[in-house]
Amino acid sequence: MKVKVYDSKGTVTSKSVTLSEGVFGIEPNNHAIYLDVKQHLANRRQGTHKSKERNEISGSTKKLKKQKGTGGARAGSAKSGTRVGGGRIFGPRPRNYHFKLNMKLKRLARKSAFSFLAKNDSLMVIENINFETAKTKDLSNLVSNLNLASDKVLFILAEKNDNVYLSSRNLGKVKVVTTDSFNTYDLLNAKKVVLAENSLEKIEKILN
């Protein structure tokens, strides 16, 4: 699969690159994608939710009224979860939502995501980006020249570049990651994925 290469100013060059069929041309595995995204979202959860149960509520444990003869239902402590101001019945407790997936499954999910993006013409390849200074305006101009100003965009670089990363922080729809830090959720959450030309070899090496 051949893709045109854009320069750092956002214009099409005469160059093109061939994407690996083993990474960008497989039949997407929807279940692998589901599991990888589910794990990513689960691992992001803090799990610090907590509500008070009846044994943690401060107040009297005195029986509110006699057991029989009132014509109403039996009532014990005011801490009961059925009363206003009482404890929560089976409320949330702190817990860890993390779970593990096999590395082969995670690689399959990422390859499936790349293949899905390639089939939907949502991948772009750009020459290596290297800003001399960290300026939001420079990256904003690049995104505009690529006609992606209104889209969610994910840039994948071959290696860490502080100037490019810092330039993206004030752009709400732009995210910059490197080849060793992208995930399936980021890939599918973006409308367009822009790959640095020198990142292709690293991506293929990681996923194969």
The token pair that represents 26 in the structure block: 């497989």
Structural domains of the chain sorted by starting position, each given as residue range(s) with its CATH number in brackets:
2-45+97-207 (3.40.1370.10), 48-95 (no CATH)
| C-beta separation of 130 from 156 below 8 A | no
Does the pLDDT of residue 51 top 90, yes or no?
A: yes
Q: Is the pTM of this model over 0.85?
A: no
pLDDT at residue 8 tops 80: no
Q: Is residue 157 helix, strand or coil?
A: strand
In order, the DSSP letters of 2-53 are EEEEE-TTS-EEEEEEEPPHHHHSSPP-HHHHHHHHHHHHHHH---------
Between CA 17 and CA 63 the distance in angstroms is 79
Are the C-beta atoms of 139 and 10 separated by less than 8 Å? no
* pLDDT per position as a tens digit, 12-40: 888 888 898 999 999 999 999 999 999 99
C-beta separation of 142 from 10 below 8 A:
yes
Phi, psi of 160 (to 5 degrees): -60, 135
The amino acid that residue 144 corresponds to is S
Cβ 206 vs Cβ 179: under 8 Å: yes
Q: Is the pLDDT of residue 69 over 80?
A: yes
Rounded distance, CA 181 to CA 106, Å? 13
92's CB contacts (< 8 A; 6+ apart) are: 49, 50, 51
Lowest mean pLDDT among 6-10, 27-31, 181-185, 191-195: 6-10
Residues 167, 139: contact at Cβ < 8 Å?
Answer: yes
193 closest CA partner among 170, 171, 177, 169: 177
Element (H, E) at 109: helix 103-119
Q: How far apart are CA 128 and CA 150, in angstroms?
A: 23
